[in-house]
Amino acid sequence: MRRLVPGLLVLGLAPAAAYAHERFVRSTLRVPVHAEYFLRTAGAWLGMNPNMLRIGAAVFAVLAAFLVVWFFRASLDRLVEDFVRGRLRGAPQRALHHLASFLMDRPLRVRWYHALGEWAVILFLRSPALVLMYSATNDSLVMPSYPLEPTSATYFKFIQVGLAVLILTQAMLPMCGALILGTWLYLFRWGWMVAVDALPLLTVAAVSVSSPWQSHKLAITDLNPRQARAVRLILGFGFMALGWFKIYNHDLVAGVADNYPWVMNDPMLQFFALGTDPFFRRENWIVSFGLAEVLSGFMLMMGVFTRVWCLLMLWVFTKLMLVDFGWDEIPHIYPIGALMAVMFSNHLTTEFHRVETVERRAERSGRPLRRVAVVVAASVGIALVAIFPFLYLLTFADRSGL
């Protein structure tokens, strides 16, 4: 799950940015949030609200289950081969093989898939130009949420249009990447959380900086392994950070829910909140929303079922831009392009090579119990570290300055 709107956390950071974002997405808090829900709870285990702890446990269980399946994916693929694929012939057999390759992040050698991947990379590298031009016509920088000061607006608008032209013509991509990086650094004037909100910008910058200077003479239609990994790591980290910030800046997220109540009906978030106190419905939804984003970001960042999570997040982003909030949310093109480029890449890797190496050694040595113990222990340990430490630390956070 992804954020509801780009710049969701901006309102609590700078009055100018807050005013700008109010023009597009209403986030006025109508009913006060139970702030004590997110703070230390006397007598509760770990000092955390029982409902928050329950949601954290549900997300932990889902993450651990996905990790177990991921580490055993080769064995599961062999089972499918023996009991299903081996009995098929022709087109059905090939279709099942391609589906398994897609789900398990293996290279997919299909002509139409390769063609879509080339188109996705082209969209990914040029998508910033669309947003830069749109922002220039709306007196803003990078995103409509970040307004330009009238004294310097003209200069920044010309710079954005000039950079957009270079990106569209694929000229001097390393310089374009450096300028995009500089633009992202300039966003710190609104606060460090605003810069984190714009992290998808750095995916394009990472690929552009690593491109050749003669880029205008080349047809760049594929990401090499290092570029694909960089895009995956940046996107995943950005999603995780935004998930934690949603729990930290809970009033802003609750304000969006107050103005768009249907966003609370998401099936996945309702699943995470099963068994919680209905009295804290909004608070439970905020925590579920934030942790769902942390879950998605972690899976993407670590390269676990990358294509599956890219597909899920593509659906969410596209719906938010085209159905829920319209063209004012055009910055969603950044993550949409990046997610498509990663999903169609045949250079996907994972960050859990060491765990997989130990698991394969146990399998080859004929020690199934050791293999199961390694996978279960690693999955539980990774899920615990990914979810609970930061969730626990957030109960100590001082939100008085928001």
* pLDDT tens-digit series, residues 173-210: 899 888 888 878 877 877 777 777 778 778 888 888 88
CA distance 286 to 264: 9
The encoded tokens of residue 34 equal 């139970």
Rounded to an integer, the average pLDDT of 338-360 is 92
Rounded to an integer, the average pLDDT of 243-252 is 87
Q: Is 1 within 8 Å of 269 (Cβ atoms)?
A: yes
Write out pLDDT tens, residues 362-392. 888 888 899 999 999 999 999 999 999 999 9
Query: Average model confidence (pLDDT) for the chain?
Result: 83
Place of tokens 């040029």: 126
Torsion of CA 223, 228, 232, 238, to 10 degrees: -60
Q: Is 197 within 8 Å of 221 (Cβ atoms)?
A: no
Residue 314 CA: distances (Å) to CA of 215, 259, 280, 294? 28, 24, 30, 16
